[in-house]
Structure 1
Amino acid sequence: MENASTVRFSSCRGVAFEIKPHANPFAVVTTDQNRYANAEREGTSSRFRLPWDFMRNASKVFPTSIQHSMSRASSHFCDLDSDNEEEEEKDDIFYLEEGGIKEGNEEHSETDEKAILASSASKHSEKPQQPPVPKKRASRLSIILLDQGLFTVYKRLFVLSLFLNVLALVLAATGNFVYARNRAALFSIANILALTLCRSEAFLRIVFYLTVKLLGNSVVPLRIKIAVTSLLQSLGGIHSGCGISSIAWLIYALVLTLKDRDNTSTAIIVVASTILSLLCLTSAAAFPLVRHLHHNVFERVHRFAGWTALGLVWAFIILTISYDPKSRSYTDNLGSKLIKTQEFWFTLTITVAILLPWLTVRRVPVDVSSLSGHASLIKFRGGVKAGILGRISPSPLSEWHAFGIISDGKTSHMMLAGAVGDFTKSLVSKPPTHLWVRTVNFAGLPYLVNLYDKVLLVPLVRGFAYFYRF
């Protein structure tokens, strides 16, 4: 296992992200040991700690758990209150010149220790003690946006999808992309189609299944498998990038329409403007700070504003196709024209992808037991394939929550829900007898274990689950 290359992925509350690889993920690294080792190699001055410093910082000298030396788990995926936890005080370390007291197994005389204590006391008495400077508290926005770094796979995909759309938009505006200039509304709908497929549970089940079938062979290089795993767990970047791009294309289409005001109708402009307003509202609700602090607001705005916008897209397509600029009226011969347009087929695909999961919503009996005051175990009837995740809800139009599924694949399956929010806490305090579920479950990070020959699953606290690939 020493020469094996390892990559670590993490999943929390339905959101997955990549953590930078480490040479030895199970190594115990203590900072103090490294400092002392470097000092001994360089022959520089050694350090001495007072006895009460050892007691106060015993957890640093004798670590009780494995310390992670790589990037820590982002609090924006779990608890945003991590900035309330004050960091431990820095060690009070006295630097002694070479020839003085050395650290290790050497014994120190009482005279030397008294001399050091007297020296430190005189230093403190000479200068008045300064009140501790309060540490600047990191804002929630910085935690959400920057905690996992600026170059995660999610953010790269976001930038890539946005860049390609901006490039095409610039070419269209400068007259170098005539097709896009004449079909700006189509490009807006195409971006909506792309972002919908990135969140379609049925579509992603097919993508994950084909990925495992095509790349699950041991002949496929590990780097390719790792890259594909990172990509599939970060499709939200494409979802977000296409959402912003659809707004940009619709604004461009409206500008062109207003310039050619004589060849369009007021109804078309009003409908397009309303769609634009709804898309802007949906994007604003999905902004990380709003989404993670007011998740229910985000979910409801995203759902109902999205449904309203989809209905208006259908109205926009019908009005646009049936309008005759010469007669300034709407024609009745709509069917033959409608099926020949790309806008119709794109919007039809969007509608099917959105409706399909809702057609599988069912209210099912559950058996909820509380293992402790911090978690609940939810049992369902019927087996589920390993690696699949499911969504449950107390009220299907209000909120949905995703959890990993444990199943024997035959008679039953279970979900373990930590009590971290209003809904999950109510599962402990008031266990329900029935919950709403979507019978079309979605594939997540655990499903991709089938890509690799060897895997080590490491369940951790706060809803995380790391897996290492060898």
Structure 2
Amino acid sequence: MLSPVRFSSCRGVAFEINRQLRADPFAIEIPAAEVTPSNAIFWQSSSREFRTSFIQRSLSKTSSHFCDLDPNEDDEEDTDSLQVVLEEGTDKEKQKQSPLPLLAISKRKYPSKPAQNNSRLSIILLDQGLLTVYKRLFAVCLVLNMTGLVLAATGHFPYARRRSSLFSIANILALTLCRSEAFLRIIFWLAVKIFGRPWVPLFLKTATTSLLQSLGGIHSGCGVSSIAWLVYALVLTLKDRENTSPEIIGVASTILGLLCLSSLAASPLVRHLHHNVFERTHRFAGWTALALLWAFIILTISYDPKTKSYKNDIGSRLIKEPVFWFTAAITLLIILPWLTVRRVAVNVSAPSGHASIIKFEGGVKAGILGRISPSPLSEWHAFGIISDDKEHMMLAGAVGDFTKSLVSNPPSHLWVRQVHFAGLPYLVNMYERVVLVATGSGICVFLSFLLQKSSADVCLVWVAKGIEQNFGKEIKEMVSGWPKEKVIVHDTGVLGRPNVSQLSIEAARTWRAEAVIVTSNPEGSRDVVNACKTVGIPAFGPIWDS
């Protein structure tokens, strides 16, 4: 008797393929004429054996998002088009099959949630939880600043009352540090060097990973706090307007307006729906506010309330003021990445209409990401980097205007920032054994851990559709040839949609992984992280403000 084959969509709807259960509305009848022999592939775990059967072909549609597992398609329509091969074939037929190790789960211990039509925005705003590390850091920054502000306003913190603008600028320096790619590169390197040792307890490694991944919470909290302190400083200035000048009030008010505009543009609603508006507003409003901040400092230091005039000789006084050094540090951090911007020759190829491969000279350390741009003052796009010791490349899924143009009109040159930045994938180097889970073009940043010698022993799980057709022969060859215990590839165009959460849990248990790191769309990342944490496996995935 043929045993049923079960799989689930990324929305959690399970389907069972069983000829004898056609009465079930979700059962799929397999026409006998369409069933042809094929060889099954086995994947061994410590406690069980999974039998994988090849699926001849799939007529499902191309994903609307390159990292998604066809989230908008009708499940019944897609599963009805699957022609499943359930019998073993000969060695000759086995040679015709793809060399990639494929894995399907035939039994699910951890069923997915019922089908939901969650938008990405709702996942960003609601489904990531109320007590995430990001929101805790935001709350801590806000509470500390508001406590100091209340104490200053009630007369219990006289220094803050006299230097309220300094506290606003200090918050701006803190939020700039949290977004400085050069500074964070150093911090991530130190974290790996200090905590990436075998004797360091796992809870310290995971706590450090959570903290570094969620520094955006400090960035946001300090941004809101800087506005609050500037409002307070402006109110005090207006109360004492006889000892100040209209120019100082005007410049301070303009800076406040620009900070408010920048903060509103960075809100999840605007950032998600109008990313280019957010990026350009954040950049140009920030630059303008920085220039006005210098004007504000010079005006306030040079103004003499007794004579109602400005003094020319302010150099000696300027270097004694903390606001000068804070603002100088902010300026340096903002200018530094722009000093590394270069226009370089690139080799762009498109293995399909759904992705492009951008090649650069020089090797890059595993886990590092980079930014490229067709117009540096307008937009920048971050991608994971695939690299050996000689060259590096980026895999860009064609999901937006820029990435689609890479396929339709490949450029010969692109602008790059030569200082690459570290993110969550870089922290893989902190652990000894890690399972890396990727969907679609999310594979890009993880491939370097296979091509380069790494301190972490990794197992790669890749779920995508049409591996060679969509990603090209070169990417396929990078993941081929590895033991199927180390690289597990699930082609949804061949095997249907898997339960990625279950796949990740089983791989982590078999690999004895210290952590799971996933790169997928917001819903996919959330489901894998939550499922792993439920069974006690530390897991991390990108957050909306990574």
Q: After TM superposition, is the score higher than 0.5?
A: yes
Q: CA deviation at 1:63?
A: 12
Partner of 1:131: none
Partner of 2:421: 442
Structure 1 residue corresponding to 2:27, chosen from 55, 72, 80: 55
Q: CA deviation at 1:150?
A: 1.6
Q: CA deviation at 1:289?
A: 1.1
Cα 1:167–1:64, aligned 2, differ >3 Å: closer, same or farther?
Answer: farther
- Deviations, residues 193-213 of structure 1 (Å, cap 9, x unaligned): 011010101100110111111
Read off the aligned partner of 2:297 and give its amino acid letter.
Answer: I
Cα 1:32–1:162, aligned 2, differ >3 Å: closer, same or farther?
Answer: same
- Separation (CA, whole Å) in 2 of partners of 1:260 and 1:162: 27
Partner of 1:115: none
- Separation (CA, whole Å) in 2 of partners of 1:191 and 1:64: 57
Q: Which has the larger radius of gyration?
A: 1
Partner of 1:355: 335
Alignment of 1:221-236 (within 5 A): 221-236=201-216
Report if aligned partners of 2:26, 2:76 keep a CA contact under 8 Å in 1.
Answer: no
- Separation (CA, whole Å) in 2 of partners of 1:263 and 1:270: 15
- Separation (CA, whole Å) in 2 of partners of 1:269 and 1:318: 13
Structure 2 residue corresponding to 1:293, chosen from 273, 281, 293: 273
Partner of 2:436: 457
- Separation (CA, whole Å) in 1 of partners of 2:65 and 2:151: 37
- Separation (CA, whole Å) in 1 of partners of 2:136 and 2:76: 34
Report if aligned partners of 2:363, 2:392 keep a CA contact under 8 Å in 1.
Answer: yes
Structure 1 residue corresponding to 2:319, chosen from 326, 339, 345: 339
Report if aligned partners of 2:66, 2:397 keep a CA contact under 8 Å in 1.
Answer: no
- Separation (CA, whole Å) in 1 of partners of 2:352 and 2:415: 24
- Separation (CA, whole Å) in 2 of partners of 1:78 and 1:285: 26
SS in 1 for 2:385: strand
Cα 1:463–1:140, aligned 2, differ >3 Å: closer, same or farther?
Answer: closer
Structure 1 residue corresponding to 2:396, chosen from 396, 417, 420: 417
Partner of 2:295: 315
- Separation (CA, whole Å) in 2 of partners of 1:391 and 1:223: 32
Cα 1:390–1:282, aligned 2, differ >3 Å: closer, same or farther?
Answer: same
1:376 and 2:348 are equivalent in the alignment:
no
Report if aligned partners of 1:388, 1:446 keep a CA contact under 8 Å in 2.
Answer: yes
Read off the aligned partner of 1:227 and give its amino acid letter.
Answer: A
Read off the aligned partner of 1:414 and give its amino acid letter.
Answer: M
1:390 and 2:390 are equivalent in the alignment:
no
Moved more, 269-278 or 143-152: 143-152
Cα 1:136–1:452, aligned 2, differ >3 Å: closer, same or farther?
Answer: closer
Partner of 1:204: 184
Read off the aligned partner of 2:381 and give its amino acid letter.
Answer: H
SS in 2 for 1:437: strand
Alignment of 1:163-178 (within 5 A): 163-178=143-158
Read off the aligned partner of 2:158 and give its amino acid letter.
Answer: V
Report if aligned partners of 1:76, 1:143 keep a CA contact under 8 Å in 2.
Answer: no
Q: CA deviation at 1:149?
A: 1.6
Alignment of 1:61-460 (within 5 A): 141-409=121-389, 411-460=390-439
Read off the aligned partner of 1:53 and give its amino acid letter.
Answer: P
Q: CA deviation at 1:178?
A: 1.1
SS in 1 for 2:363: coil
- Deviations, residues 70-101 of structure 1 (Å, cap 9, x unaligned): xxxxx99988x96x667879xxxxxxxxxxxx
Report if aligned partners of 1:390, 1:442 keep a CA contact under 8 Å in 2.
Answer: yes
- Separation (CA, whole Å) in 2 of partners of 1:277 and 1:254: 12
SS in 2 for 1:402: strand
Cα 1:457–1:186, aligned 2, differ >3 Å: closer, same or farther?
Answer: same
Report if aligned partners of 1:140, 1:289 keep a CA contact under 8 Å in 2.
Answer: no
Q: Which runs of 5+ in 1 are unaligned?
A: 1-29, 34-48, 66-74, 90-134
SS in 2 for 1:463: helix
Partner of 1:96: none
Cα 1:277–1:88, aligned 2, differ >3 Å: closer, same or farther?
Answer: farther
Q: CA deviation at 1:417?
A: 0.8
Partner of 1:27: none
Report if aligned partners of 1:200, 1:354 keep a CA contact under 8 Å in 2.
Answer: yes
Q: CA deviation at 1:463?
A: 2.6
Read off the aligned partner of 2:439 and give its amino acid letter.
Answer: L
Cα 1:396–1:51, aligned 2, differ >3 Å: closer, same or farther?
Answer: same
SS in 2 for 1:253: helix
- Separation (CA, whole Å) in 2 of partners of 1:312 and 1:145: 33
Count how many residue pairs are aligned between Structure 1 and Structure 2: 368
Read off the aligned partner of 2:162 and give its amino acid letter.
Answer: N
Read off the aligned partner of 2:429 and give its amino acid letter.
Answer: N
Q: CA deviation at 1:292?
A: 1.3
- Separation (CA, whole Å) in 2 of partners of 1:366 and 1:234: 33
Report if aligned partners of 2:67, 2:440 keep a CA contact under 8 Å in 1.
Answer: no
Cα 1:217–1:323, aligned 2, differ >3 Å: closer, same or farther?
Answer: same
Read off the aligned partner of 1:385 and give its amino acid letter.
Answer: K
Read off the aligned partner of 1:247 and give its amino acid letter.
Answer: I
- Separation (CA, whole Å) in 1 of partners of 2:219 and 2:290: 16
Partner of 1:123: none
Q: CA deviation at 1:139?
A: 6.6
Q: CA deviation at 1:294?
A: 0.9
Q: CA deviation at 1:394?
A: 0.5
Q: CA deviation at 1:55?
A: 2.2
Cα 1:231–1:254, aligned 2, differ >3 Å: closer, same or farther?
Answer: same
- Separation (CA, whole Å) in 1 of partners of 2:305 and 2:75: 68
- Separation (CA, whole Å) in 1 of partners of 2:310 and 2:128: 53
Let me know the Cα RMSD of the aligned residues.
3.1
Read off the aligned partner of 1:55 and give its amino acid letter.
Answer: A
- Separation (CA, whole Å) in 2 of partners of 1:226 and 1:396: 35
- Separation (CA, whole Å) in 1 of partners of 2:397 and 2:250: 46
Cα 1:319–1:384, aligned 2, differ >3 Å: closer, same or farther?
Answer: same
Read off the aligned partner of 1:242 and give its amino acid letter.
Answer: C
